[in-house]
Amino acid sequence: MSAGYEVAVRAEAALGEGPTWDPAGGRLLWIDILGSRVHTYEPGSGRRTVRVTGQHVGAVKPRVGGGLVLNLRDGVALLDPDDTFRWLRHEPVPGRRANDAAVAPDGALWAGTMRYDEAPGGGSLSRITGDGAAHTVLDDVTISNGTGWSPDGRLMYYVDTPTRRVDVFDHRDGRISGRRTLAVVEDGAGFPDGLTVDADGCVWVALWDGAAVRRYTPGGDLDRVVALPVPRPTACAFGGPDLTDLYITTAATGLAAPPPLAGSLLVVPGAGHGAAQPAFAG
């Protein structure tokens, strides 16, 4: 078990989520889902920005031509480099919101949803291409969360949080098959939430109510635990110029007495070696 965390951004996010390194901007993107805010943080200068989205936002990712793609409550939207907002897919469903999302090696967005009441099977995972075409990949999901790919793109890792599992699929040409379990988080250790895959193919997963981030090898062995000062870390991603710093988002929501750093953005310098993440091809 190791710690070594620092506070990158002291904040009071209700549900901080989705850290993503934007190499073109030299910045980290992250969100507050329930606060309807997109945050940016430039570690080199310390500069920060906050944008209010107007509705709950589940994820934000950079786009190939600049700007951002947003997984929002009512669908997937684009923010152009000139700050123009437009819907790529507008499909509101009463009682449903967006959750975590990730960009696949081919530039498609894999966007998750869930019910506000967390009804079993009420969420989904969809693959959305740059032209807005969508295909539902998984339709019996409760809380669609961490999604990531092996460095060679042949495996996809996925978390439906209440299952307590990190699952792995074979991935080819935008399709997945052969679902099996990589790891199970035992009772009392929290619930798997957001994840990232490093350059060695190891899976780092944040544990909601577990006060830690774990690293699992491609064979499913637990080989590292990063202990944290907050009970609800939500997601993690490598960032910085060399992709060696592990950024971790955290949440304060639902805690009767949130500790001082709940809702802040934490970082573990020199935690490992991340893999470069593609931008959305739209």
pLDDT averaged per 10 residues in sequence order, the chain, 282 residues: 84 97 97 98 97 97 97 98 96 97 98 98 98 96 98 98 98 97 98 98 98 98 96 98 97 96 98 96 94
Question: 100, 193, 198, 245: which is the annotated catalytic residue?
Answer: 193
**What is the reported pLDDT for 160?**
98
DSSP string, 201-261: S-EEEEEETTTEEEEE-TTS-EEEEEE-SSS-EEEEEEETTTT-EEEEEEB-TT-SS--TT
Look up 193 and say whether it is catalytic. yes
**What is the reported pLDDT for 4?**
85
73 φ/ψ sector (left φ>0, alpha ψ -120 to 50, else beta): alpha
Residue 3: what residue type? Answer: A
- C-alpha to C-alpha distance for 220 and 228, rounded to whole angstroms: 22
**Within its chain, how far is the Cα of 103 from the centroid?**
10
pTM listed for this prediction: 0.97
**What is the reported pLDDT for 136?**
97
